[in-house]
């Protein structure tokens, strides 16, 4: 978990950043040992007072280091956009595109936790349109549309049946998991 103290590569001093990157690299090593194929990370929160140019510069530096490591060990890295309640760095499909452009690594991919676009009134399918083959994983949850709370599918307000049909019609064959991180 790299979304809060003491592990957040986007916040804190150099010592905290270094420990966070080392922890992610350890997770990558463990994923490789288990033949997991990839390690999923997020950019977390960079602090409310951090200027955008500093945020994106730090993200580029961190992702560059992690992608170099991923390339050396033969692992893929998947960047998860979060809701604006959780992060001020990578929160939507355009942010993901920006991050991928900053660090054009063959080992860097992304995913969509369908709660993140839903609470921002961003069409979930925009991730499929914009990311193409860089989209490798889905978190399937339900949402109230007003918070980052992850509900059991069917207990929130998302039109999940229609969304699942759209995803199937798109021909998505990547991974998906149910992510219940709040209330359960």
Place of tokens 């905290």: 16
Q: What is the mean pLDDT of residues 149-171?
A: 96
Give residue 99's pLDDT: 99
User: For all residues of the chain together, what is the average pLDDT?
Assistant: 95
CB neighbour list of residue 2: distance below 8 Å, 6 or more residues apart? 8, 9, 20, 23, 24, 41, 42, 44
At 181 the pLDDT is 79
Q: Is the pLDDT of residue 122 over 70?
A: yes
Asked whether the predicted pLDDT for residue 43 surpasses 90, the reply is: yes
Task: Output the pLDDT for position 81.
Answer: 98
Q: pLDDT at residue 1 above 90?
A: no
CA distances from 108 to 8, 104, 119, 147 (A): 19, 7, 25, 28
Q: Average the pLDDT over 33-62 and give the result.
A: 97
Q: What is the mean pLDDT of residues 121-144?
A: 97
pLDDT of the residue at 7: 85
In this predicted structure, what is the pLDDT of residue 180? 82
Domains of the chain in start order, with CATH, are 14-178 (3.20.20.150)
Predicted pLDDT at 4? 64
Residues 6+ apart with CB under 8 A from 135: 109, 110, 111, 112, 127, 128, 172, 174
Phi, psi (deg, nearest 5) at residue 58 = -70, -40
Report, as residue numbers or ranges, the catalytic residues: 80, 179
Mean pLDDT confidence for 129-156? 96
Give, in degrees to the nearest 5, the angle at Cα 79 between 131 and 40: 125
């Amino acid at each position: 978990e790299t979304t809060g103290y003491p592990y957040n590569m986007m916040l804190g001093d150099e010592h905290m950043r270094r420990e966070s990157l080392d922890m992610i690299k350890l997770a990558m090593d463990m994923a490789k040992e288990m033949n997991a194929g990839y390690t999923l990370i997020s950019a977390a929160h960079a602090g409310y007072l951090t200027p955008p140019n500093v945020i994106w510069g730090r993200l580029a530096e961190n992702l560059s280091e992690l992608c170099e490591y991923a390339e050396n060990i033969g692992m893929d890295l998947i960047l998860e956009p979060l809701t604006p309640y959780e992060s001020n760095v990578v929160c939507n499909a355009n942010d993901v595109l920006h991050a991928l452009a900053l660090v054009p690594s063959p080992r860097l991919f992304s995913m969509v936790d369908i709660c993140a676009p839903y609470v921002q009134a961003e069409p979930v399918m925009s991730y499929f349109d914009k990311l193409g083959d860089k989209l490798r994983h889905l978190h399937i949850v339900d949402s109230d549309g007003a918070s980052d709370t992850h509900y059991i599918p069917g207990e929130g307000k998302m039109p999940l049946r229609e969304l699942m049909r759209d995803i199937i019609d798109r021909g998505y064959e990547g991974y998906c998991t149910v992510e219940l991180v709040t209330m359960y």
